[in-house]
Amino acid sequence: MKKLILSLLAIASLNFSFAQTAEEIVNKHIEAIGGVDNWKKINSLVMEASIKAQGAEIKLTRTHLHNKAMRMDIAVMGMNGYSIVTQKEGWSFMPFQGQTKYEAMTPDDVKSSQDELSILDEFITYKELGKKLEFLGKDDLEGTECFKLKLTDKAGEEITYWLDPTNYYTLKQSQKVKANGKEMESVTTYSNYKKIDEGVVYAFSLGGDWGDTEINKITINPKIDESIFKPSN
């Protein structure tokens, strides 16, 4: 009996004192979001979402072919725009900003968008992409003590992640973006994590400077007509 109590106490204290390594945290994160196997079964996806602000709504649809192409359609106040990125090219048509015809992305923008072509969680692919992983210790995210991790790619671009220590979900990520000589910080928060039928877990609510995005529907491996990855007004 005494032994049992001691071992139970030992287990309990382990929870609180065991210093975890970056890789252990990442492994638990991957497990929490459905595991590598389930993620790697995803070849394509369509995500339907909306941004609501004071009752008004912006509709977003992301159509994605893993590592090949991605298209984001945006519908605002009766207007429709889109952005497309493929492995070699990219275009955007944003009539809300006064564009009357689609415009090609610069080669630099296409290059820097390549990471987004992966459907997989960054922590699944970081090793094969040669990114450096660092555990920056625990950090207070608005009252929640989180695991703080950083991934640095070969070009030196950094993304910092805050993971919920109770379930290993990403609560926030922060990325420094350097463009045209300016340095900007892009922050996204994640919540409303749900497991979908295919066994993977997605954050259905995203927050950022642009407002709160709610994902309404995710379709995994739908058949996608690849002609949508070409621009047309």
> Nearest-CA neighbor of 150 among 134, 131, 137?
134
Near another protein by CB under 8 A: residue from 21, 87, 144, 216: 144
* Interatomic CA distance for residues 4 and 17, integer angstroms: 20
Scan for tokens 């995994």, then name that residue: 220
Near another protein by CB under 8 A: residue from 191, 198, 199, 219: 191
> Nearest-CA neighbor of 72 among 102, 51, 95, 93?
93
Q: Nearest distance from residue 66's CB to another protein, in Å? A: 25
Q: Is 167 in the site for another protein (CB under 8 A)?
A: yes
- For residue 74, what is the enclosing H or E element? strand 69-76
Whichever of 69 and 203 has its CB closer to another protein, that residue is 203
Dihedral, 138, 140, 145, 151 alpha carbons, nearest 10:
-50
Near another protein in 80-119, by CB under 8 A: 80, 95-98, 100
* Interatomic CA distance for residues 83 and 229, integer angstroms: 9
How many positions of this chain bind another protein (CB under 8 A)? 49
* Interatomic CA distance for residues 124 and 30, integer angstroms: 7
Candidate segments 105-113, 114-122, 191-199, 221-229, binder of another protein by CB under 8 A: 191-199
Q: Is 78 in the site for another protein (CB under 8 A)?
A: yes
Near another protein by CB under 8 A: residue from 68, 158, 196, 219: 158
Phi, psi of 97 (to 5 degrees): -95, 10
Q: Is 233 in the site for another protein (CB under 8 A)?
A: no
Whichever of 129 and 136 has its CB closer to another protein, that residue is 136
Whichever of 100 and 128 has its CB closer to another protein, that residue is 100
Q: Is 55 in the site for another protein (CB under 8 A)?
A: yes
Q: Is 232 in the site for another protein (CB under 8 A)?
A: no
Scan for tokens 């609560």, then name that residue: 171
Please, where are the H alpha helices in the chain? 2-17, 22-32, 36-40, 107-112, 122-125
* Interatomic CA distance for residues 171 and 206, integer angstroms: 9
Q: Nearest distance from residue 117's CB to another protein, in Å? A: 26
Judged by the rule CB under 8 A, the positions of this chain that interact with another protein are 1, 4-5, 8-9, 12, 16, 52, 54-56, 75-80, 95-98, 100, 136, 140-144, 148, 150, 158, 160, 164, 166-167, 169, 171, 182-183, 190-194, 204-205, 207, 212, 214
